Structure 1
Amino acid sequence: MILEIVSPEAKLFSAEVTSVTLPGVNGSFQILNNHAPIVSILGKGLVKIDAPSFKFSKEVASKFSKVNDHTYTLAIESGTIEMKDNKVIVLAD
Structure 2
Amino acid sequence: MLLEIVSPEAKLFSAEVTSVTLPGVDGSFQILNNHAPIVSILEKGVVKITASNFTFAKEVASKFTKLDAQNYTLAINSGTIEMKDNKVIVLVD
Q: Tell me, yes or no, whether TM beats 0.5.
A: yes
TM-score where L is the length of structure 2: 1.00
Structure 1 segments, 4+ long, off by >2 Å, are none
Matches of 2:60 and 2:90 in 1, distance apart?
A: 15
1:9-61 CA deviation, whole Å, 9 max, x = no partner? 00000000000000001100000000000000000000000000000010000
Number of aligned positions between the proteins: 93
Question: Using the alignment, how far apart are the partners of 1:52 and 1:90 within structure 2?
Answer: 20
* 1:1-40 paired onto structure 2 within 5 Å: 1-40=1-40
Query: Partners of 1:61 and 1:84 in 2: how far apart?
Result: 26
Give 3-state SS (helix, strand or coil) of 1:75's partner. strand
1:50 alignment counterpart: 50
Residues in 2 aligned to 1:11 and 1:66: alpha-carbon distance in whole angstroms: 19
Query: 1:23, 1:13 → 2: CA distance?
Result: 17
Residues in 1 aligned to 2:31 and 2:58: alpha-carbon distance in whole angstroms: 27
Give 2:15's aligned amino acid: A
In structure 2, C-alpha distance between the alignment counterparts of 1:88 and 1:47, rounded to whole Å? 13
TM-score under structure 1 length normalisation: 1.00
Unaligned runs of 5+ in 2: none
Q: In the alignment, which residue of structure 2 is the partner of 1:90?
A: 90
In structure 1, C-alpha distance between the alignment counterparts of 2:27 and 2:44, rounded to whole Å:
10
The structural deviation recorded for 1:71 is 0.2
**1:41 aligned partner:** 41
Structure 1 portions without partners, runs of 5+? none
